[in-house]
Amino acid sequence: MWGNLTMKQILLITDGCSNKGADPVQAAMFARRLGITVNVIGILDGGDLGSAGRQEVTEIAQAGGGLSRIVEARQLAMTMQMLTKHTVQMTIQQVVNKELRGLLGTDAEGLPPEKRSEVAEMVDRLGDEAQMRLVLVIDTSASMHDKLPAVREAIRDLQIGLQVRKGGHLLAILTYPGAPGMETQVITDFTAKPDLAGLMNSLQASGGTPTGPAIEKATRMLSQELLGEPRDSKDRRDEGGPMNAYVV
Amino acid sequence: MSSSLLRTGQTVAGLWHKRCYLVESQVGSGAVGEVYRVQGPDGKTYALKISLQSSEIALEHRTLQRIQGVARGVNLGPLVYDVDDVATPHGKAFFYVMEWVRGRDLPSFLQLRGRHWTPVLLLQLCNCLELLHAEGRCFGDLKVENCLVDESEGRLRLVDFGGVTPFGRGVKEYTEWYDRAWWGQGTRAADPGYDLFALTMLTVQLIAPELRAQATAAGTPNFAKVAKHVLQEPAYAHWRPLLQGVWSGRITETSHFRQMLTPLLRKSVEAEKRRRRPASSRRRDWTDWLLFGSAALLVLVFCQFFILG
């Protein structure tokens, strides 16, 4: 059953506050109900998100059952890796804890530290073997201009990290706002090796910051990917049964 | 992770094993946790690593425990003594207690004792890595900052085993300059070659520290630039076969790297002798040579052991 474990994550990267469309906190809450974790990174880089921006970053992550960090652009790569990996482990830990409570009446933290490390090793291994479905949701409003090279490098680095996992992964990239008149734009649909060339051209001078609609779009992409007809993809490995046979 | 988990002067009391540690100072903080210098119940100094993430602390403690005692007579990693939980204002935190490794960092050690120490220190590093590799693990986050030299013995110690990763898995912690994948020179999968690549970048940095700033100024990696610099800079003359051997894929095992280091050791001793003869006004005296000799001997005896064993 663990082989079919699929992790669904949205990673939102922004440098400001949403100002258009649906409420991003509500959107994140909805995603969470579908078993999707929403992580948020706020990029500072010289400027400041402002207190409203900071608050929104924290609230979206909380509503989405994920984590949030506010960092400088140079810390982006490491933060993305850390959040992605940590949420996978958190999700597995929750499942393991439920099993432990059923068996022993306590979760991992209630075990003596020596015993706990055995559980931690198991969680670590399962996290490495789990299937990953990740949508990167990237704010490409005008103020992101200077940060996009760092974002691209960080995505490249994330890919390097994902490639060495035992479990398969599919990554999609969504930017917002989209082309004039559009709220979002899918730069690459789910693939193991996204092409990052499109990202650098996706900067939009106008169109506001529709963070909520972007999260909603990412949620739709993830639920379609998981519930729809399994598409042909050579990136998908060892998935004998229906791929959503065991979805956490 | 803005505020520290512990305060100086505070006593940390373990919830399970009930041992108490007096916090003397904070010595560092990283992605996973914070490290403090503490005084244990026996009055001795220890290092305490603490984090809010129980799994990371548990995994690191287990790794250190595993490698403890695998090396005959050599403490590969810091010895671990205790693992426990503690209540903090930020919530329940998790910690382990390890040996306090005393030592001087590599750049200042080399400055004080002389450049001819470089191959000796690298040989010792090779030994550490070889032992770890024999255990099926990669050190991962090998960097100048994670090495200390015990000045009384001239012995190199590795600190911070947070990056130690079983072969085949993705390296847990890394630093761009030393990261094979960041430079586009391979994957980030843990294998002996990953550590060897980091070892070459460490060598490059020890020999000409200014190159690192130059080569990473652009923010994007350009390995050709580093390779070109190594080819042109006279300081690397003796080191080229070794560095290029790893980069071209001819050297993939630590033992091979170690063998290539041995002639360098002799060369650098000779160069140092020549340099010292005319100007004997240097502060270094016979104790330096005694220390150097004993360290070199230690390395050679150890190599012997390793080959026979």
Query: How many independent structural domains does chain A possess?
Result: 1
Mutation target among A67, A117, A152 for the B interface, most CBs of B within 10 A: A117
Q: Kindly tell me if the per-residue pLDDT of B181 is higher than 80.
A: yes
Give the mean pLDDT of A228-232. 48
- Say if A168 falls within a structural domain: yes
Handedness of CA A46, A47, A50, A53 (dihedral sign): negative
B147-150 vs B155-158, strand pairing mode: antiparallel
Give CA separation, B203 vs B120, B125, B140, B246, B299, in Å.
12, 11, 16, 12, 18
Between B10 and A247, the higher pLDDT residue: B10
> What residues in chain B have their Cβ under 8 A from chain A's Cβ atoms?
16, 31, 53-55, 58-59, 61-62, 83-85, 92, 94, 169-171, 181-182, 187-189, 219-220
CB atoms A160 and B181 under 8 Å = yes
- Say if A229 falls within a structural domain: yes
Give the mean pLDDT of A27-55. 89
Q: Enter the pTM of the model.
A: 0.84
- Say if A209 falls within a structural domain: yes
CB atoms A117 and B84 under 8 Å = no
Q: Among B110-114, B123-127, B296-300, where is mean pLDDT lowest?
A: B296-300
The pLDDT value given to residue B271 = 76
- Say if A241 falls within a structural domain: no
Q: Kindly tell me if the per-residue pLDDT of B1 is higher than 50.
A: no
- Say if A150 falls within a structural domain: yes
Show the domain range for A26: 2-236
Provide the CATH number for the domain around residue A167: 3.40.50.410
Give CA separation, B266 vs A116, B76, B130, B196, B277, in Å.
49, 26, 22, 22, 17
- Say if A54 falls within a structural domain: yes
Taking all residues of chain B, what is their mean pLDDT, rounded to a whole number?
86
Residues linked to residue B177 through DSSP beta bridges, in sequence order = none
Nearest Cα residue in chain B from A89:
B55
- Say if A83 falls within a structural domain: yes
Instruction: State the smallest CA–CA distance between residue B13 and chain A in angstroms.
Output: 14
CB atoms B187 and A117 under 8 Å = no
The pLDDT value given to residue B73 = 61
Q: Kindly tell me if the per-residue pLDDT of B307 is higher than 80.
A: no
- Say if A26 falls within a structural domain: yes
Give the mean pLDDT of A26-54. 89
pLDDT tens digit sequence for B242-265: 999 999 999 999 999 999 998 888
CB atoms A86 and B53 under 8 Å = yes
Instruction: Estimate the crossing angle of helix B118-134 against helix B286-308, to 10 degrees.
Output: 30
